[in-house]
């Protein structure tokens, strides 16, 4: 049995899906017909699109994501072993998102084999467009509101076995990316920015470390959010790609979502996020502190993008002048 999705036969995928469905639904769900093709929008991992007909006649559209052997060579070259763990995304869907009924693609099970390294995730193929292609401000506000609700929905389902798999964006995490970004600036002869980053490192980390923490998606950029308008009057957002899920500063997902936005649209997203925070969390932070937290989280993300491998370029949807963003955010945050 091979770990790789792309090296596996249709029959192997069908058998793995039947086992996954039986686990989730607690009864056999034989698959009568299955067709597959590569998913047109895969990025870091191999993903196949499945058209499935069950024995009783039900038809379902699924995606199967190979989060083990399916990692592309480009992604493997830039993502460190501390980030990569195929068990994480499976555990998030199985133990957190599904029990908490968080709007996300439906979990149809997983195929895991430690011996071969197989780690396949079967998910609903959500009909809709990515948020990045949406011009409707209501969809963007809905995504911000979703982010505000996330930690409150997940919190009571947290458990130590799953927490050990999550990325912990603590002081050491941010210090790593700050140091990497500083080194990148030095290599690129951006000495003024490098000097400023070294000078403000302690103050930045202290302030970031002092923010309330929450469960976060980790990469809530618009390209990772599907807008589902089927059978709903209002847009329903379903974030995908949870391999970077973990804990971190509470405004981190909002910071990713508002990247590139200014003015009234940005303000509306901030208000939607704040309105959906649990009452205790929203009451405990002033508007001024909320804005400061968002700015610090935006800076943390800019430094992370700067700190990626020096010979790597982010995908088109994430290509920004992160150096200019970092310099601007340092100034705005008084660092």
DSSP for residue 9 = -
What is residue 309's predicted lDDT score, i.e. its pLDDT?
58
- Tokens read off for 26: 């607690």
Decide yes or no: CATH 3.40.50.300 for domain 129-332.
no
What is residue 185's predicted lDDT score, i.e. its pLDDT?
93
Beta strands across the sheet bearing 213-216? 167-168, 246-249, 213-216
pTM value is: 0.93
Q: Which residues contact 44 (CB under 8 A, 6 or more apart)?
A: 71, 72, 74, 75, 79, 243
How far CA 98 is from CA of 44, 101, 251, in Å, comes to 24, 5, 23
Residue 293 burial (CB count, 10 A): 22
Write down the domain spans for the chain.
10-124, 129-332
pLDDT tens track, the chain, 335 positions: 678 999 999 999 999 999 999 999 999 999 999 999 999 888 889 999 999 999 989 999 999 999 987 777 666 666 666 688 889 999 999 999 999 999 999 999 999 988 888 999 999 999 989 999 998 999 999 999 999 999 999 999 999 999 999 999 999 999 999 999 999 999 888 999 999 999 999 999 999 999 999 999 999 999 999 998 877 778 899 999 999 999 999 999 999 999 989 999 999 999 999 999 998 888 889 999 999 999 999 999 999 999 885 555 556 655 678 899 999 999 999 99
CA distance 88 to 94: 10
Q: Which residues contact 9 (CB under 8 A, 6 or more apart)?
A: none
Decide yes or no: CATH 1.10.10.10 for domain 10-124.
no
């Amino acid at each position: 049995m091979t770990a790789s999705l792309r090296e596996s036969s249709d029959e192997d995928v069908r058998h793995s899906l039947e086992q996954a469905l039986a686990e989730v639904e607690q009864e056999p769900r034989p698959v009568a017909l299955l067709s597959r093709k590569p998913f047109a929008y895969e990025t870091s991992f191999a993903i196949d699109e499945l058209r499935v007909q069950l024995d009783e006649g039900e038809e379902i559209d699924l995606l199967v994501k190979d989060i083990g052997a399916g990692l592309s060579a480009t992604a493997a070259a830039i993502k460190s072993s501390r980030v990569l763990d195929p068990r994480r995304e499976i555990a998030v869907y199985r133990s957190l998102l599904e029990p908490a009924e968080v709007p996300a693609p439906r979990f149809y099970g997983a195929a895991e084999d430690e011996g071969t390294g197989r780690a396949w995730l079967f998910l609903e193929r959500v009909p809709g467009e990515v948020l990045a292609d949406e011009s409707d401000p209501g969809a963007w506000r809905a995504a911000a509101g979703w982010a505000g609700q996330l930690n409150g929905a997940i919190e009571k389902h947290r458990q130590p076995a799953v927490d050990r798999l999550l990325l912990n964006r603590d002081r050491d995490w941010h210090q790593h990316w700050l140091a990497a970004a500083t080194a990148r600036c030095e290599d690129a002869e951006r000495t003024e920015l490098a000097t400023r980053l070294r000078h403000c490192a302690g103050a930045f980390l202290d302030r970031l470390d002092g923010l309330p923490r929450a469960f976060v998606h980790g990469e809530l950029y618009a390209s990772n959010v599907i807008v589902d308008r089927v059978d709903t009057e209002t847009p329903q957002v379903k974030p995908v790609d949870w391999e970077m899920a973990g804990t971190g500063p509470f405004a981190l997902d909002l910071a990713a979502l508002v990247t590139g936005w200014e003015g009234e649209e940005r303000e509306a997203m901030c208000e939607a996020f704040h309105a959906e925070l649990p009452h205790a969390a929203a009451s405990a932070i002033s508007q001024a502190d909320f804005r400061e937290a968002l700015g610090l989280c935006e800076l943390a993300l800019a430094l992370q993008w700067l700190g990626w491998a020096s010979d790597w370029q982010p995908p088109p949807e994430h290509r920004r002048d992160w150096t200019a963003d970092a310099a601007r955010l340092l100034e705005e945050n008084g660092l």
